[in-house]
Structure 1
Amino acid sequence: MVIRIVELHIHRDRLEKAQLLLAEVAPNVRKMDGCSHLNILEGLNNNAHITTYSYWKSEDHLNAYRQSNVFKTFWGEIKPLFAMPARAWSSYSLHYLP
């Protein structure tokens, strides 16, 4: 399993728009082939700091999503709302650890 973590910092005056975009895209991401989980988190003390966690069956599934119209449309709409560039990374889940 691949876990994709994306950290977004949104301009405060654009936060409501970003929240609407995230709420709109979330069901579509969850329906993508290979996506088994998506969680969207707001910072406890800074709700303009948003982190997404998504679980993918494989890197190929994640890459297919990143090439999809769902992603391209969403990214094109949310990117102008950023206060700083997004940070993202992917990791493999180590199921054998306690």
Structure 2
Amino acid sequence: MIVRIVKMEFQEDKVTDFLQLFEERKERIRHFEGCKHLELWRQSGKSNIFFTYSHWNAESDLDHYRFSDFFKDTWQLTKALFAAKAEAWSVEQEVVME
């Protein structure tokens, strides 16, 4: 399983636009082949910094999503709202802590 974390900083006056876009598209992302989980987080104390946190069956599923027309359209609309360049990480769990 791959966990994808994307940090996005938005222009202060564009946060509502982003939240509306995410609300409109989140279910389609969640139902994309290979996506097992999707959450949106906001940085504590920062009203314009968000993280998407998603689980994918495999890197190939994530890549299929990332190269889809749906993602390209969504990302283009999202990028237009940014105050800074996004950062992204794909990680795998190394050790299960109990």
- Secondary structure in 2 matching 1:83: coil
Q: Structure 2: which 5+ residue stretches go unaligned?
A: none
Matched, 1:12 2:12: yes
Following the alignment from structure 1 to structure 2, what is the Cα–Cα distance between the partners of residues 47 and 31?
A: 28
Q: Which residue of 2 aligns with 1:25?
A: 25
Over the matched positions of the two proteins, sequence identity in percent amounts to 33
Following TM superposition, by how much is the alpha carbon of 1:44 offset from its aligned partner in structure 2, in angstroms? 2.2
The answer as to whether partners of 1:5 and 1:53 remain within 8 angstroms in 2 is: yes
Q: Which has the higher strand share?
A: 1
Q: Displacement of 1:25 after TM fit?
A: 1.4
Deviations along 1:52-98, one digit per CA (max 9) or x if unpaired, are 1000000000000001122111101010110000000101123x422
Provide TM-score, normalisation by structure 2.
Answer: 0.94
Corresponding residue SS for 2:86:
strand
Write the mapping of 1:1-98 to structure 2, written as runs, cut at 5 A: 1-94=1-94, 96-98=95-97
Secondary structure at the residue paired with 1:85? coil
How many residue pairs align between the two structures?
97
Give the Cα–Cα distance (whole angstroms) in 1 for the partners of residues 81 and 37 of structure 2.
Answer: 25
Structure 1: unaligned runs, 5 residues or longer: none
Q: Distance in 1 between matches of 2:80 and 2:48?
A: 14
For residue 27 of structure 1, report the CA deviation from its aligned partner: 0.5
SS of 1:47's equivalent in the other structure is coil
Question: C-alpha distance in 2, partners of 1:63/1:93?
Answer: 19
One-letter identity of the residue aligned with 1:86 = A
